[in-house]
Chain A
Amino acid sequence: MSQRPDAAATDRAAAPDPSPGAVRDEANAFLVEDAAGVADVADALAVASTTGAEAIVGRWSSPAGRLLRSVLALVAFFVIVGVAWQAFKWVSGDPWRFENILGTGASYFHQPPFRLIQATDIQLPHIWDIAYAMSEPVQRNQDTSLAAYLLGAAVYTWAEAAIGFVIGTVIGIVLASIFVHSVLVERAFVPYVIASQTIPIVALAPIIVVGFGRGLTSVVIIATYLTFFPVTIAMMRGLRAPDPRALELMRSYAASRWSIYWKVRLPASVPYLFTALKIAAAASVVGAVIGEGPGGVKDGLGRAIVNFNQQYITGPEKLWGTIVIASLTGIFFYLVVRVAEIIVLRGRQKMEA
């Protein structure tokens, strides 16, 4: 739970803070809300729980344990989705037909009781068909397998996302630092920071492409757009998080504002920053994928999605394979940030944003 800055009243009881993640300062006037990243909340629920698998997984609090917890959650994600996927097809898809299983000559047939169009083999290929297609050539007469092709595209997209991530983070930190030191600037611009996120970037994407030309720049701009907001908001909270008494102490040393910023505010903001970075990691990948479409970047996953969507009938597994790889890209980036967080925050109390 967030910490409330103490009011001056001396007989104020230490009432437990109930506010679920609101920014308790002037920014409230502009309805600023930061929802702690889904992954963080889920993690906190797991840690705090005393029942079920969470109780076991939640208990691991050493650095390696925490990483393992995240990895396990993601593995569980794929397992659960995979099971649900095939179960859905079992109940309402196309008939399952296996002949000569593993060369034994046995065959198997299953007729699902219902039929939903979303579960047909065209609309929702079997997981094993997707896996098989990954090893097949991406196009006839080409040597590269689908997997290799998509991996190349993923690296490209991830690079764009990473650049946008870094730029967005820097912008977010700079903006937050300015806002925290000048109430006037904050009041003038924070509403637009918030408004920028209520404006769906997708609407702006085509304009950005026209303005900056097809290619890397536009995509990076879109990725940056989606990452700077969570970082700004989280940093504003983080820079304001230090105990007012710590700040008073610094002032009693006649420390300059810069010195206070560097020695007190910035270190205090690091846990908040990492919460935002985990959100930003996913957001930058989304931004890169969305931007590549209109951006006309032929080497990225966004382009692959558009292409394989056009060719869907001839090979639905290819689009699905792209989606899987895009997901893995997002997860990869999240884990990178998570590892960085665990290393940097080693030994610190894990803070819930």
Chain B
Amino acid sequence: MTVGAGVVSAPVVRLAGVQKAFPVKGGGSTVALQGIDLDIARGEFISLIGPSGCGKSTLLRIVGDLITPSAGTVQVNGKPAPQARLDRDYGMVFQAPVLFDWRTVEANVRLPLEIQKVRGAERDRRVQEMLDLVELTGFHKHYPHQLSGGMQQRVAIARALAFQPAILLMDEPFGALDEMTRERLNAEVLRVWAQTGTTVIFVTHSIPEAVFLSTRVVVMSARPGRISDVIDIDLSQPRDETTRETDRYYELVTQVREALRGHHEGAPVGVPSKERARAEGGIG
């Protein structure tokens, strides 16, 4: 299977026929996700974008084994998702930083390492490395409430990477921040991604953000939640502020926007477009 940048042997995440229905008060159920097929190769940066209710956060949580699908299979790193979770193959960053108030920045980053029983010098070294990576050196002894929102999210990212997971799941991590901080943190995430080679699945509402960060953008639509389009982002790496000003960037943003709008306005579901065929039949 060929994808964006490079050829890889097996996808690091494979979703086949995934479906999720939630029971609804008063009987019955609502289908959050239907017929999700997606392969993600190692080292990719995938964005999930779509209107509210399209199930993108649910999908992310299914990959992370925080929610069990009603049907279909989820393979992460060649194993079923629950096993991948127990093996700690991924790190997660939520929309709110979810830092523990009673721990210093350093202790917060240390948390996953403690649970994995990493001790002593090795542990301290990794914490230091992570804080350096997100450029928060010197803030070890601060408490979360002493930091701004953007800084707190950086700590959350440092924490998620502390144990060097193969996959990073991010659920609208910059949603609560203002535009300028968000763009700055976008650049940081890209830098971290390039340096660590982690595979990233990133949920967002923001089209510019999705295009700027990703190697591929997965467009989803709602009711029921499904993948309506997958768009390759062929902007060159490394990307920076100037990338946001290129013609190709605008073209891609428009393409994503139209993909989102197209299915919002109810393009006939039964007619296969090239992108839809690719999305539904897996990638390749």
- Chain A's interface size range is under 10
Query: Is A10 in contact with chain B by the CB < 8 A criterion?
Result: yes
CA distance A15 to B177 in the complex (A): 11
Partner of B152, one of A10, A13, A18: A13
Query: Which residues from chain A contact B178 at a C-beta distance below 8 Å?
Result: 10-11
Q: Does the CB pair A14–B149 fall under 8 Å?
A: yes
Partner of A15, one of B96, B180, B181: B96
CA distance A14 to B176 in the complex (A): 6
Query: A1-26 toward B: CB 8 Å interface, digit per residue (1/0)?
Result: 00000000111111110100000000
Name which residue of chain A comes closest to B149, CB basis. Answer: A13
Q: Does the CB pair B101–A13 fall under 8 Å?
A: no
Partner of B148, one of A12, A14, A16, A18: A12
Name which residue of chain B comes closest to A4, CB basis. Answer: B145
Query: Is B150 in contact with chain A by the CB < 8 A criterion?
Result: yes
Q: Report B146-170 residues with CB < 8 Å from chain A CB.
A: 148-150, 152-153
Q: Does the CB pair A11–B101 fall under 8 Å?
A: no
Query: Which residues from chain B contact A12 at a C-beta distance below 8 Å?
Result: 148-149
Q: Does the CB pair A15–B152 fall under 8 Å?
A: yes
CA distance A14 to B172 in the complex (A): 13
CA distance A311 to B258 in the complex (A): 88
Question: Using a Cβ–Cβ cut-off of 8 Å, how many residues does chain B contribute to the interface with A?
Answer: 17
CA distance A12 to B244 in the complex (A): 25
Name which residue of chain A comes closest to B25, CB basis. Answer: A59
Query: Is B97 in contact with chain A by the CB < 8 A criterion?
Result: yes
Name which residue of chain B comes closest to A9, CB basis. Answer: B148
Question: Known: A9-B148, A11-B149, A11-B150. Is A16-B96 also a contact (CB below 8 A)?
Answer: yes
Query: Which residues from chain B contact A11 at a C-beta distance below 8 Å?
Result: 148-150, 177-178, 180-181
Query: Is B91 in contact with chain A by the CB < 8 A criterion?
Result: no
Name which residue of chain A comes closest to B153, CB basis. Answer: A13
Query: How far is the CB of B111 from the nearest CB of chain A, in Å?
Result: 16
Query: How far is the CB of B259 from the nearest CB of chain A, in Å?
Result: 29
Query: Is B69 in contact with chain A by the CB < 8 A criterion?
Result: no
Query: How far is the CB of A13 from the nearest CB of chain B, in Å?
Result: 3
Query: Which residues from chain A contact B144 at a C-beta distance below 8 Å?
Result: 15
CA distance A338 to B56 in the complex (A): 42
CA distance A291 to B62 in the complex (A): 62
Query: How far is the CB of A71 from the nearest CB of chain B, in Å?
Result: 24
Query: Which residues from chain A contact B181 at a C-beta distance below 8 Å?
Result: 11
CA distance A13 to B96 in the complex (A): 7
Q: Report B42-101 residues with CB < 8 Å from chain A CB.
A: 96-99, 101
Query: A75-108 toward B: CB 8 Å interface, digit per residue (1/0)?
Result: 0000000000000000000000000000000000
Q: Does the CB pair B101–A18 fall under 8 Å?
A: yes
Query: How far is the CB of A137 from the nearest CB of chain B, in Å?
Result: 56
CA distance A12 to B97 in the complex (A): 11
Name which residue of chain A comes closest to B185, CB basis. Answer: A11
Query: Which residues from chain B contact A13 at a C-beta distance below 8 Å?
Result: 96-97, 148-150, 152-153, 176-177
Query: Which residues from chain A contact B98 at a C-beta distance below 8 Å?
Result: 16
- Interface core residue of A10, A13, A15 (most chain B CB under 10 Å): A13
Query: B108-150 toward A: CB 8 Å interface, digit per residue (1/0)?
Result: 0000000000000000000000000000000000001100111
CA distance A350 to B178 in the complex (A): 31
Query: How far is the CB of A299 from the nearest CB of chain B, in Å?
Result: 52
CA distance A15 to B96 in the complex (A): 6
Name which residue of chain B comes closest to A13, CB basis. Answer: B149
CA distance A165 to B177 in the complex (A): 47
Name which residue of chain A comes closest to B101, CB basis. Answer: A18
Query: Which residues from chain A contact B180 at a C-beta distance below 8 Å?
Result: 11
Name which residue of chain B comes closest to A19, CB basis. Answer: B101
CA distance A12 to B99 in the complex (A): 14
Query: How far is the CB of B101 from the nearest CB of chain A, in Å?
Result: 5
Q: Does the CB pair A14–B101 fall under 8 Å?
A: no
Query: Which residues from chain B contact A9 at a C-beta distance below 8 Å?
Result: 148-149
CA distance A10 to B181 in the complex (A): 10
Query: Which residues from chain A contact B145 at a C-beta distance below 8 Å?
Result: 15
Query: How far is the CB of B73 from the nearest CB of chain A, in Å?
Result: 28
CA distance A54 to B267 in the complex (A): 47
Q: Report B173-190 residues with CB < 8 Å from chain A CB.
A: 176-178, 180-181
Query: Which residues from chain B contact A14 at a C-beta distance below 8 Å?
Result: 96, 149, 176
Query: How far is the CB of B175 from the nearest CB of chain A, in Å?
Result: 9
Q: Report A6-63 residues with CB < 8 Å from chain B CB.
A: 9-16, 18
Query: How far is the CB of B114 from the nearest CB of chain A, in Å?
Result: 20
CA distance A131 to B152 in the complex (A): 62
Query: How far is the CB of B139 from the nearest CB of chain A, in Å?
Result: 16
CA distance A10 to B178 in the complex (A): 7
10 contacts between A and B (CB under 8 A): A9-B149, A11-B177, A12-B148, A13-B149, A13-B153, A13-B176, A13-B177, A15-B149, A16-B96, A18-B101
A-B contacts besides A11-B181, A13-B148, A13-B176, 11 pairs, CB < 8 Å: A9-B149, A10-B178, A11-B148, A11-B178, A13-B149, A13-B152, A14-B96, A14-B149, A15-B96, A15-B97, A16-B98
**Cβ-closest 9 pairs across A and B:** A13-B149, A11-B181, A12-B149, A14-B176, A13-B176, A11-B150, A18-B101, A11-B149, A11-B178
